[in-house]
A = this chain, B = another copy of it.
Amino acid sequence: MANKYAIGIDFGTESARAVLVRLSDGAELASAVSPYADGVIDETLPGSGIRLEPDWALQNPMDYVTAVKETVPKVLAASGVSANDVIGIGIDFTACTMLPTKADGTPLCVLPAYRDNPHAWVKLWKHHAAQPEANKLNRLAEERGETWLARYGGKISSEWFFPKALQILDEAPEIYDAADRLIEAADWVVWQLTGVETRNSCTAGYKAIWSKEEGFPSPDFFAALHPRMRNIVQEKMQEDIKPLGARAGGLTAEMAAATGLLPGTAVAVANVDAHVAVPAATVTSTGRMVMIMGTSICHMVVGQQPRIVPGMCGVVEDGILPNLAGFEAGQSAVGDIFAWFVDHCVPAEYQQEAAERGLNLHQLLEEKASTLQVGESGLLALDWWNGNRSVLVDVDLTGLLLGATLATRAEEIYRALIEATAFGTRMIIEAFRSNGVPVDDLVAAGGLPERNRLFMQIYADVTGQEIKVVASTQAGALGSAMHGAVAAGAAAGGFDSIEEAAAQMAHLRDDTFKPNAENHAVYNELYQEYVRLHDYFGRGENDVMKRLKAIRARALSA
C-alpha cells in the first residue's frame, strides 16, 4: 500500500506554518511559512489608518486564508507528494482569537459598512482591552456563585471569549448587532476550508466556558452581565461542539483548486496550538504532563475525571484528548523574563564578549551561569514579571529578586530567574498532585528546550524528574496533521483514534534531562524558601505588590 500523508497548519501570532507529514512514521517531509501581511494590528487599522487604543491587538482574517493558499501548494511541491495521497488536513490556532461574521461566514471587517470599526476585526489572543469586561464578568460570577468559575481557577481571563464579546457589545453595539456569528478564528478557518460551521471542544471549553456536562453559562447569567447578551449562545454561536479529531467536513472545490489538494479531503475540527501538541508529544494517557516552553509555559495533563485544582487555567472534558478530562495550567512569563533581562539588565562588556565570540547574550549567560553551583548566587526570585497565572491567578503580582550583594553578577541573576520559573512549574505540578491529578512524567515541547540546556537541566533538578523532549520542532503542526489523519479515518489510510496516530507519528528524542540528586536536594531547600515568599506576597499576607501597582496607577494618571 502506498504511503499516505496529512497536512497540519499551525496558525501562530505572526505567521502560519504548514507541514506535510508521512503517516507511517511521522516524518515531516516539507514545511512552508506564510507571514501575515497585516501581522499584529496594534497601532492603526489597515485601510483607514484609525488609531487603536492601548492594549488592543487585532488581525486580518483574510491573512489566514492567504496563508493556506500559499503554504499548501509549497509543501506539496517541495515534498513531491501527490494530492491523491494527502488524506487529511488539521489546523491549530492561537486562542482565544475571535471575530464577528455574517451568517455565511463573511467577516464583518471585509464589508465596507464595518471595516473602519476596529471591533469588526479579529481580536487576537493578546488583545487585552477587555479587562473591565472580564472584571465585571468575574464579579458577577462570584456573586451568583456560578459553579463553572472553579473550573477556571476562579477567574475568567480578559483574553477569553465572553469578555471580548462583551467589549464589542459595550463599545460597538452596532457591530454586535450586525454579527450573526461570533466565532473562534480557528473554527472560522475550518469553515472556510469546508463550507461547514463547526465548534471545537478545545476552544469552547478552555476559552468560552463550555463543558460537556453543563454546556455554556445560563441565559440568566448572560442577561445579568448584559440584557442583550441573554441569548448570545443561541443567537451568535453554536451549541453543537465537536470533539477533537472529528471530521468537520471535506475540502471545498474552491479551496481544493486554490491549494492543489483533492476536493473532499478530510478536514479535522480546529484545535489550539498548545493542546494539539500533547499527542504530538506522544502523550495520550493520564499522568504525563506536557509543557510547552517558550515566552510563557503552558502545562497540560489529562485525567480520568474532571477535578477542581486551585489556580489552574481550566479543566475541560474532551479538551485535549477524547473522553478524558484535560487540565491546563500556565506561567504567564518565562522566556519573556529572560528576554527582558537580556534586553534591559546586561552590561555592555557582556554584549562585547558575546559579539567577539559569536554568541548571543542568552548563550553567553547560559555558559557563565552553568559554572555556578546550586545556591551559590545566594539569590532567590519570584517569577511574577507578568503576574502569576497558576496557581495564584493574579495579574497584579510583580517580580521580586532577593539576595543581591555588591558581588552579584548578571549570570547569577539570569540563573535565579530561570530557577524561579522552575519553582513556579514545580508549584503547579504539586497543585495538580495534591488535588488528585497524577503527574508522573514530564515531556517538554516548544522553543526553549531547543535553545537552552541549562534551563532544561534546572527544571529537571528542581522537579526531581526526568524530562523528555518532543522530537519534532513543529509539534503544533505535527499534532494538527495527526488530527487530520484521524479525521480521514483508518479506512482512508489514516487512523481511527489519536492514540493510534500518536503511536505511529509522534516521537521523543533519545536524550533526556535527568535530575542530579545533589542539586535536587539543594533545590528542595530553595523551593521551600520560594513557597514561603510565594505565599507571603501572593496570598494576602502582604499585598505590597498590589499597593505599589495602585500607587503607580495614581502616579501615571496624575
Contact = CB atoms under 8 A, between A and B. Distances in A.
Contact of A408 (B344, B404, B536, B547): B344
A1 interface: no
A491 interface: no
Given A404-B401, A544-B529, A377 B345 contact: no
A144 interface: no
A545 interface: yes
Interface string A528-544: 01001100110000101
B375 A398 contact: no
Contact of A375 (B340, B374, B536, B555): B555
Contacts of A548: 375, 378-380, 402-403, 526, 529
A343 B410 CA distance: 10
Task: Classify chain A's interface size.
Answer: 35 or more
A409 interface: yes
Contacts of A556: 373, 376
B398 A400 contact: no
A221 interface: no
A2 interface: no
A262 to B, nearest CB: 46
Interface in A314-362: 333, 336-337, 340, 343-348, 351-352
A253 B345 CA distance: 59
Interface string A181-210: 000000000000000000000000000000
Contacts of A545: 402-403
Contacts of A34: none
Interface in A398-426: 398-406, 408-410
Contacts of A410: 344-345
B404 A398 contact: yes
Interface in A504-558: 522, 525-526, 529, 532-533, 536-537, 542, 544-545, 547-549, 551-552, 554-556, 558
Given A344-B408, A529-B547, 20 more contacts: A337-B406, A344-B347, A345-B346, A346-B348, A347-B351, A376-B552, A378-B549, A380-B544, A385-B405, A386-B405, A398-B402, A398-B405, A399-B404, A399-B405, A399-B408, A400-B401, A401-B402, A402-B548, A403-B545, A533-B542
Contacts of A403: 398-400, 545, 548-549
Contacts of A373: 555-556, 558
Contacts of A402: 398-401, 537, 544-545, 548
A550 to B, nearest CB: 9
A360 to B, nearest CB: 13
Contacts of A522: 551, 555
Contact of A401 (B401, B409, B529): B401
A525 B533 CA distance: 22
Nearest to A352: B348
Interface string A55-94: 0000000000000000000000000000000000000000
Point out which of A345, A380, A526 has the most chain B C-beta atoms below 10 A from its C-beta: A345
